[in-house]
Every structure is written in structure tokens, then in C-alpha cells.
Amino acid sequence: MIKSMTGFGRSEVSNEERKISVEIKAVNHRYCDISIKLPKKLSFFDVGIRNILKKYIGRGKVDVFISYEDYTENNICVKYNPDLAKEYYDNLKKISEEFGIENDVRTSVLSRYPEVFTLEEQTLDDGKLWELVEEAVIKAAEEFVETRITEGENLKKDLISKLNGMSILVDFIEERYPQIVNEYRSKLLAKVTELLQDTKVDESILLTEVTVYADKICVDEETVRLKSHINNMINTLEDSDNVGRKLDFIAQEMNREANTILSKISDIDITNKAIDLKTEIEKIREQIQNIE
């Protein structure tokens, strides 16, 4: 199945302690360009997140936004610094002895001195946190791929419809070509007869002239190749994945054949159909730019 390069996916995974939210969106791009914005606390998961996403994404400019919420109130702990407290106490006692004043230091007073008590954030369990991040990223990526597949199916239907229309145009050109040769023969015969009047026309010379003209404007090779490219593109759309570049190459070859037909034949009917062909090919190329 084909996938569009535009897509969106979102997920939230939480437990009683924390919540991870992931949002993924993408637009067209020639290569796979993944940009991840995540909180500093999760920055060391960047490589792991990219490895997950590469399993789901082949092409596109992808923006990933990850947010983190911590519900816990016990992830901050109070740390007591006994060495510093003793140093404060010893110095206060020294002041009392030196100046002969009462040492009225209480625990509550000592605890207020800087750095005796400090608040420290408890270390997170990286393993458990990664499990949460991994689950959220995978869920968002799966939803993201689903939107790409849905849009890809719509693109496929539109492209196949355009390709079927192109087949009708090519059939017309194939049917019209012999008529052009016959019309040229009739016009040539009428002109020669008019010029020679009662003189008998040499059929071999007339046949040679018509044959040269037919070879000059022959588009059999071009129409055969166009039909082959059309069938190849339809089969690729039906059976393949990650085919954007291949489809673009086929479209380029189609355009080459249409240009050759235009350069060979000046017949107004075929010219119009060849222009219609080029118009449809251009539409197809624009649509292909959306395919992964």
C-alpha cells in the first residue's frame, strides 16, 4: 500500500505518577528529516525515539513534540548536611566562649542556616520512564501511519483515475495515426493528379512518398512505451510501498514520450490529445510529491 507523506498522530500514556504526551506531524520532503522537541529530562531518550520512528517513517519532514508531566509530590527529598551543621555549631560555641555570652543555639535555629537542609530531586528510574516514553511514541507513530495510509488510498484512487484517462488519450492517438497517413495519401494523390492532369500517376513514387511521411510521424514506439509506463505505475500503486521516487521517475518518462509525440505530429487532433496527456502527467507528478 502507498502512504501519503502528510500525516498526524497523537497519544498520551500515563500512570499514577507521570504522563507522556506525543504529537507527530509531517509534510512533504525529499528525504526523511525528523525533528524532535522534548523536555530536558527526556533528552537522553532522543536516539531511542529516532530508532522507533525510523521503523514507521521512510520519507517526509517530520516534527515530533513530546511533553512530560510529573504528578508525584515525593520526588523532592530533604537532605541533612551533618558536617556543615557541626561546623556552624562549633563556630557559634566558639563565639559564646570568646565573648562570655550564653550559648542559646537551638535545633530550630541551627536548621535555618544555609545548606544545613537542602531540597533535592530524587533520581528517576530511567527504565520505567523509558517504558512510558516508548509506549507513547509507538502509539502516536501507529496513528500517524494510519492517517498516512488513509490519505495514501485517496491519492491512489485519484492517480489510477487519471492514469485510466491517459490510456484513453493514448488509444485515441494510436487510432488517429493511420488516419493521418491515409489523409496524407489522399491529399498527395489529389495534388499530383491535379498537377499532372491526364498523365497517369506513378503509384510506386506515391507509395514511397507516403512511406517516408509515415515513418517520419510514426509514434508507435511512443504510444507503446506510454502504455507500458501507465501499466507500470498502476501496478506500482497497487503492490508496492515507499514508491514515491519510483513513481516520479515513471512520470518523467511519460512526459518525455508525450513531448516526442508533440514534436513528431502536427495534426490538430493528436496535438490536443498530447497536450491533454502532458496536463494529466503534470497533475500526476504533483500528486506523487505527496507519496512516501
Q: Which of 63, 67, 43, 69 is nearest to 144 (CA)?
A: 63
139 and 64 in a common domain: yes
60 and 139 in a common domain: yes
The answer to the question of residue 2 being in a domain is no
Number of domains the chain is built from:
3
87 and 55 in a common domain: no
Confidence check: pLDDT of 78 > 80: no
109 and 219 in a common domain: no
* Residue of 216 and 67 predicted with greater confidence: 67
The answer to the question of residue 189 being in a domain is yes
84 and 51 in a common domain: no
C-alpha cell at 122: 530524587
Q: Which of 32, 35, 25, 52 is nearest to 133 (CA)?
A: 52
The answer to the question of residue 137 being in a domain is yes
180 and 83 in a common domain: no
Question: Of all residues in the chain, what percent carry a pLDDT higher than 90?
Answer: 46
204 and 102 in a common domain: no
Cβ contact 147:251 at 8 Å = no
The answer to the question of residue 184 being in a domain is yes
pLDDT, tens digit, 9 for 90 and up, residues 224-249: 999 999 999 999 998 767 788 899 99
Q: Which of 135, 152, 164 is nearest to 58 (CA)?
A: 152
277 and 163 in a common domain: yes
200 and 166 in a common domain: yes
The CATH number for 225's domain is: 1.20.140
pTM of structure: 0.67
Non-local (6+) Cβ contacts of 72 within 8 A are 17, 18
Domain of 199 in residue numbering reads as: 152-288
225 and 112 in a common domain: no
Non-local (6+) Cβ contacts of 116 within 8 A are 80, 81, 84, 85, 88, 110
> For position 189, what pLDDT does the model report?
58
* Residue of 240 and 134 predicted with greater confidence: 134
Non-local (6+) Cβ contacts of 46 within 8 A are 36, 38
89 and 160 in a common domain: no
> For position 126, what pLDDT does the model report?
79
d(CA 133, CA 127): 10
144 and 11 in a common domain: yes
Confidence check: pLDDT of 40 > 90: no
The answer to the question of residue 1 being in a domain is no
Look at the block and give the residue holding cell 548536611: 81
For helices 126-196 and 268-288, angle between their N-to-C axes, nearest 10 degrees: 170
